[in-house]
Every structure is written in C-alpha cells, then in structure tokens.
C-alpha cells in the first residue's frame, strides 16, 4: 500500500516538475524577448543622442590605428577600419582593405559612418619626405568628399610639428610656422579641413599628437627603434645629448584620448593629445630602457639635435582633460 502511495506521489511530483519546467521556459522566453526589446530600445536611444557611433578609421592597420581602433571598440562603438591591408586590425571591426583615395563615394562604400577619424598618412617620421607634399591633393579630395556627405564629424590626426620652432605650452591659438615638409603638409590639411567643415556644417576636430612612448618595434619613434635594437641584441644605441624637453604620452593613453575625443562633439576644434607636461628626452628614454629591462646603453652625442626641434615644448591638456573626465563619469 505504501509502495503504491509512494509511486503515485512520485508520479504527481514528476508532473508538477514537468509543468513547472514548461512554465519556467515560457517565463525565460518572455523575459529574453523583453530584455531584447529593452536592449534595442536603449541601443536606439544611445545612437539618437550620439552615445553610440559608427566610426570610420583610415590608416587602421598602422601602429597607431590598431590601438585606436581597439580603444573605440572597447567603448562600445562600431568601427569601419580602412587601410591597404587590414590583417592586424581588431576582428570586431568591419574591415575594408582598399586604397581609400580611389573610392568615388567613400561615405557609401564605408557604410555611412557618423564620424570620420582620418589617420592615414605616409612617411610620418621621415619629416622631409616628398610624399607629404605629393599626397596632399589626395587628402584634400578625400576630405572634400566626406565633408559633402552625411557624416557628422570630421576628426583628423595632426602633429605638434605644425607649430615649428616654439618654446612653452602649445594651445589652439599658438601660431604655426612649420619647418619641415611633414609639418607644412599637416598644417595645410588642417586649414583645408576646417574650411570644408565650416562650408558643410560638419563638426571639425583636429587631434594634435605629441611624442608617443610605446614598446612596439613596428613604430617609427625612437622608442620603437630602441626596442628593435634591443631585440636584435645591440648593446649600444646612437643618441643626441637628449637635452630637449618634450611632451611624452604612453601609447595606451594616446589611443584612449583619441578614442574619447572623436566619439564626442561637445569639445571640438584643435585638441591636444598629450600629457600636458615636459620631460627631458634623455630622462624619458633612460626610464623607458629601465621600464622594459633592455640591456642597451645610449651613446650620447652621436647625433646632433634637429635644428627645428624646440628646447622645451609641451601641449596644453585642458581640453582633453575635460573630455576624459566627462567620459569617466558616463
């Protein structure tokens, strides 16, 4: 008798369990649909208020481009990454391997971005390369096409070399008297980009970069060259006296600042991507060698200082500080 009652009770319990599982499935399904609808509603709102954007990044496969693409993606934005090759670009991005200067309608081809972040540039560290001047017409035409499209913001990478020889803190009102082909070309493109944006009602941003510190051997800075030399087993590295003071910014911080600046439109115009403080070149390089445990020594005085390098120059970081502080609160 007890066995029969136990069997009945077990059968009843199984029915209840089965029924509860079915109810639970329905609840989960409804909850998932609800959450999905809620998520899509939030997503639409974020796009409407420009908190989520589609950003076209040119030069995305380069040393800077790779880190900046990652930083923008990490902020939740969508990235269309363009370069001649894109094999080193974060896989979360929409990749476009192309010559962007040959595209007739870049806005449509690059899937109608909200923001153009124009990093593409040849021979950035070869300051007297003819490529800087020869490529200018291509940059002009590309920016003109984008300015006449429905893109909202045109953000372009600049350089402190637009300024030329100058001592002290650089802000957006510091006069530009460039002394290298690189500086001349960047300065000319800045002025053209500003006019294109004014004529077409676009948000204009010029992100003026300073000295980037990173331990990738694939860059062209002195830090990349020292990294490559150390990895090749070299024990000495030819150097200047290193007395000039510059504004140094770590690679990761640089990428974060660019990502934050181009995905907002409250603070615009010329924005310094910098640390905001000067440091002797020799001190920063020696510290870099120590930080990375490189077994290499600097050969001081092997090279003269470049005549167009300032004795002490740094960026005013007030605008980028406001942007970073605002982003941190979100």
Domain boundary among 34, 49, 64: 49
For residues 80-102, average pLDDT: 97
Q: Are residues 123 and 203 in the same domain?
A: yes
Residue 109 backbone dihedrals phi, psi, to 5 degrees: -60, -40
User: Residue 293: left if φ>0, alpha if ψ -120 to 50, beta else—which one?
Assistant: left
Whether 10 and 68 map to the same domain: the answer is: no
Whether the predicted pLDDT of 26 surpasses 70? no
The pLDDT of residue 102 is 97
Q: Is 182 a catalytic residue?
A: yes
Instruction: Quote the percentage of the chain above a pLDDT of 90.
Output: 76
Lowest mean pLDDT among 62-66, 74-78, 228-232, 302-306: 302-306
- Rounded CA-CA distance 70/81 in Å is 10
Q: Is the pLDDT of residue 2 over 80?
A: no
**Helix H or strand E encompassing 251:** helix 251-262
Residues 94 and 227 in one domain: yes
Residue pLDDT, tens place only, 243-282: 999 999 999 999 999 999 999 999 999 999 999 999 999 9
* 3-class secondary-structure state, position 130: coil
Residues 33 and 61 in one domain: no
Residues 20 and 127 grouped into a single domain:
no
Asked if 28 and 136 sit in the same domain, the reply is: no
CA 73-74-79 angle, 5° bins: 5
Q: Which domain holds residue 120?
A: 53-329
| Shared-domain flag, residues 57 and 29 | no
Final residue belonging to a domain, choices 11, 32, 49 = 49
Name beta bridge partners: 269.
Answer: 205
Same domain, 122 and 164: yes
Task: Count structural domains, the chain.
Answer: 2
Quick one: pLDDT at residue 49? Answer: 46
Same domain, 82 and 139: yes
The position carrying tokens 């100058």 is 166
Q: Rounded to the nearest 5 degrees, what angle is found at the Cα of 242, between the Cα atoms of 237 and 244?
A: 150
**Could you give the CA distance from residue 244 to residue 106 in angstroms, rounded to a whole number?**
42
CATH number, domain containing residue 59: 3.40.50.720
Q: Verify that 29 and 104 share a domain, yes or no.
A: no
List 107, 182, 210, 211, catalytic entry: 182
């Amino acid at each position: 008798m007890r066995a029969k009652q136990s069997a009945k009770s077990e059968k009843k319990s199984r029915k209840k369990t089965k029924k509860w599982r079915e109810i639970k499935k329905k609840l989960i399904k409804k909850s998932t649909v609800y959450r999905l609808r809620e998520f899509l509603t939030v997503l639409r709102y974020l796009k409407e208020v420009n908190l989520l954007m589609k950003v076209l990044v040119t030069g995305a496969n380069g040393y800077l481009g790779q880190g900046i693409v990652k930083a923008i993606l990490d902020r939740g934005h969508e990235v269309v990454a363009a370069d001649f090759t894109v094999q080193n670009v974060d896989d979360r991005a929409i990749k476009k391997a192309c010559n962007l200067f040959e595209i007739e309608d870049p806005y449509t081809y690059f899937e109608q971005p909200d923001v153009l972040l124009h990093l593409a540039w040849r021979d950035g560290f070869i300051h007297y390369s003819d490529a800087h001047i020869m490529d200018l017409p291509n940059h002009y035409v590309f920016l003109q096409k984008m300015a006449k499209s429905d893109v909202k913001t045109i953000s372009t990478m600049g350089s402190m070399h637009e300024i030329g020889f100058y001592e002290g803190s650089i802000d957006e009102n510091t006069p530009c008297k460039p002394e290298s082909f690189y500086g001349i070309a960047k300065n000319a493109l800045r002025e053209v980009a500003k006019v294109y944006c004014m004529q077409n009602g676009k948000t204009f941003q010029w992100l003026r970069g300073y000295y980037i510190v990173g331990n990738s051997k694939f860059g062209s800075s002195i830090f990349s060259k020292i990294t490559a030399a150390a990895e090749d087993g070299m024990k000495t590295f030819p150097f200047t006296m290193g007395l000039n003071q510059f504004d140094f910014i770590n690679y990761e911080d640089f990428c974060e600042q660019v990502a934050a600046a181009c995905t907002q439109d409250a603070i615009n115009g010329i924005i310094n991507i910098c640390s905001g403080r000067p440091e002797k070149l020799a001190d920063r390089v020696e510290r870099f060698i120590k930080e990375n445990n490189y077994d290499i020594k600097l050969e001081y005085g092997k090279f003269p200082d470049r005549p167009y390098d300032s004795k002490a120059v740094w960026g005013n970081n007030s605008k980028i500080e406001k942007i970073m502080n605002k982003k941190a609160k979100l």
